[in-house]
Amino acid sequence: MPLTVKRPARLSWRSLLPWVVGILPVACGLTVMHWQIERELRASSQATTRQVVEHVEHILDNLANAAQVLLPLAGSPCEPAQLTLRSQVTRNAFVRSTNLFRDNTLYCSSLFGDFDEPVDANDYTDGHLWLMDGNSVTPGHPLLVYRLSDGARGAISTVDGDHLVTALRLIGPNEQLQLRVGNAWLGQDGRVHAGAPAPAATADVTLGSTRYPFSVHGGYAADKPAQLLRSQYPALLSLLLVLGVVAAGVCRWQIRRASSPSAELQRALEADEFLPYFQPVVRKGDYRWAGAEVLMRWNHPREGLVRPDLFIPYAEHSGQIVAMTRALMLHTAQSLAPYTALLEDGFHIGVNITADHCRDLTLLDDCQTFLQHFPPGRVRLTLELTERKLIEPTPIALELFEKLHAMGVMIALDDFGTGQSSLNYLRQFKVDYLKIDQSFVAMIGGDALSQHILDSIIELSAKLGLGIVAEGVETEVQRDYLAQHGVDFQQGYLFGRPMPADAFLQALAAQPGAARLPQGAPPEIMRG
Ligand code: G
Ligand code: G
Ligand code: MN
């Protein structure tokens, strides 16, 4: 089984957050600037539209004035009236022509004198205004016509569309402006269109005249705000971008800082990433599994399976090892409890503890919780203290071990032979087992002196009445040597490597004479 299982990196909040934090000020700034620009554009559009309305009203005042003067002549013969018609063209700016009509017939014109053309009052909005796209004199050329009547008689004055188009173009060179009369409108393109003009995409404004039946439509194209943003606010825009980048950078830095080893361990603890692996401990003779040591593995989302020597030192340094061991014991209990039928009575479960566990009595609760998962006497919990870092025999530590013993929990001294524990130490903590370090087991078959050291350790433990477990047994020569020299329990690759719970249970079920599995056990364990 490979020790590291690589998984693809996930898209996590840690990688997304700097983006969000960077984009947020830029988005907020852009929103505010956009809102500001829209307000400015609306105000400007309203002002221009009003200006156009006023200008067209001024033109129409000229037309109305001419028609007013000519109205009394309507119905009288054309010949004597013609000079007055022409003088009104001269006297009133913007007036291109003046005409008289009677009974729906235009009979007199400033341009031609006697004339004969039909006049339909229905062409005129409110009977007064008609936006034409040309007449017989200038076909295809816009023309605004003003009509004033008194019964069946009346006067008509016209203004050239060029005056209107020029106003639309000059008053709002950057805007979309249209003049609407009835069901026709004049655009800045100088053409008369039927229907109503399309509303502007930005800052659409419609303003009607209170004095004449026309309205002016103003506004801007859809890309106007963005265009303004680029041309008017380049400094502010750059500032926003820099702000965004800085915010994202600071956020990323903070997250990295928060990913210090202890923060990362805390995250892993909350994400329940610490898993128990089990290495069997066998009994001399039949070499059946009499117990197991629980070894922690970190199932890291990116790094895969991490070995404990890489993170246990950090966890011990920061004090998080206590919570991590608690989680590990809970996992272990939950993994094994459904399969207690596979465990022989008094099955040893070894859990590694450190000096941090001995500063208060919380370990008692943890052990109690662990044991409650199993029928009484089925499991023998053994706490392994390493001899490399000796635990201070403080009153609280001594009380803890006293109570642990009363609960039936056993104590093993791990890595024995590598430190300097005294006989007094072994007695104070009421050690039950010595676990001979694998470096001594590796000496078997070596020179006489090395072998002598091993023999002395075994002899010593026998004299003290302690149980012995030999660690790191890899060969049959080592196994047989240890068995012959009175070592009751052995642990090592020869019997089994540390393995995950399901593999462990599967192998346990496959042992000759294994107890029957309970109903409902997962098939992968039955298969073993
Ligand atoms: O299998 P191995 O690589 O698991 O173990 C490496 C070292 O980490 C050993 O010294 C072992 O005692 C230690 N270790 C493994 N699991 C734990 C644990 O849960 N707690 C502590 N304190 N040490 C552990
Ligand atoms: O808790 P302790 O320090 O005893 O941890 C046991 C360590 O020894 C673990 O890292 C485990 O993987 C390792 N180990 C267990 N059996 C063998 C073995 O037979 N040979 C070697 N080299 N290492 C072993
Ligand atoms: Mn150990």
Q: Tell me which residue has its CA closest to atom 22 in ligand 2.
A: 472
Confidence at residue 14, expressed as pLDDT on a 0 to 100 scale: 75
Q: In angstroms, rounded to a whole number, what is the distance separating the alpha carbons of residues 45 and 233?
A: 20
pLDDT(1) > 80:
no
| Cα-Cα-Cα-Cα dihedral sign, residues 19, 22, 25, 26 | negative
Q: Tell me which residue has its CA closest to atom 15 in ligand 1.
A: 295
| Ramachandran assignment for 343, one of left (phi > 0), alpha (psi -120 to 50 degrees), beta (any other) | beta
Confidence at residue 260, expressed as pLDDT on a 0 to 100 scale: 77
- The 3-state DSSP class for residue 1 equals coil
Surrounding ion ligand 3 within 5 Å at CB are 352, 384, 414
In what helix (H) or strand (E) does residue 38 lie, and over which residues does it extend?
Answer: helix 13-70
Confidence at residue 518, expressed as pLDDT on a 0 to 100 scale: 54
Q: Quick one: which of 165, 162, 163 has its CA closest to 177? A: 165
Distance 183 CA to ligand 2 centre (A): 94
**Mean pLDDT of the 258-266 span:** 81
Distance 432 CA to ligand 3 centre (A): 14
Task: Output DSSP code: residue 273.
Answer: -
Q: Tell me which residue has its CA closest to atom 5 in ligand 2.
A: 295
Atom number of ligand 2 nearest to Cα 474: 19
Distance 514 CA to ligand 3 centre (A): 26
**Mean pLDDT of the 381-406 span:** 91
pLDDT(65) > 50:
yes
pLDDT, tens only, 206-237? 999 999 999 999 999 999 988 888 888 888 88
Confidence at residue 10, expressed as pLDDT on a 0 to 100 scale: 53
Chain centre to alpha carbon of residue 136: 69
* Contact of 491 with 280, CB cutoff 8 Å: yes
Q: In angstroms, rounded to a whole number, what is the distance separating the alpha carbons of residues 470 and 228?
A: 81
Full-model pTM: 0.60
Residues near ligand 2 (Cβ within 6 A): 279, 295, 352, 414-415, 438, 471-474, 492-493, 498
Of 8-12, 250-254, 361-365, the one with minimum mean pLDDT is 8-12
Higher-pLDDT residue of 428 and 470 is 470
Q: Quick one: which of 461, 459, 442 has its CA closest to 450? A: 442
Q: Tell me which residue has its CA closest to atom 24 in ligand 1.
A: 352
Confidence at residue 352, expressed as pLDDT on a 0 to 100 scale: 96
High-pLDDT (> 90) share of the chain, %: 71
Q: Tell me which residue has its CA closest to atom 18 in ligand 2.
A: 472
Atom number of ligand 1 nearest to Cα 296: 16
Confidence at residue 520, expressed as pLDDT on a 0 to 100 scale: 52
- Of all ligands present, the nearest one to the C-alpha of 437 is 2
Confidence at residue 526, expressed as pLDDT on a 0 to 100 scale: 44
Q: Hey, what domains does the chain have and what are their CATH numbers?
A: 16-224 (3.30.450), 273-514 (3.20.20.450)
Which pair of tokens denotes residue 501? 């719970």
pLDDT, tens only, 486-516? 899 999 999 999 999 999 999 999 987 776 5
pLDDT(517) > 60:
no
Residue type, 504: F
Q: Quick one: which of 440, 468, 506, 487 has its CA closest to 278? A: 506
**Mean pLDDT of the 13-17 span:** 81
pLDDT tier for residue 137 given thresholds of 50, 70 and 90: confident
pLDDT, tens only, 48-59? 999 999 999 999
Distance 43 CA to ligand 3 centre (A): 79
| Cα-Cα-Cα-Cα dihedral sign, residues 201, 205, 208, 209 | negative
Mutation pick for ligand 1 pocket among 275, 299, 309 (CB with most ligand atoms within 8 Å): 309
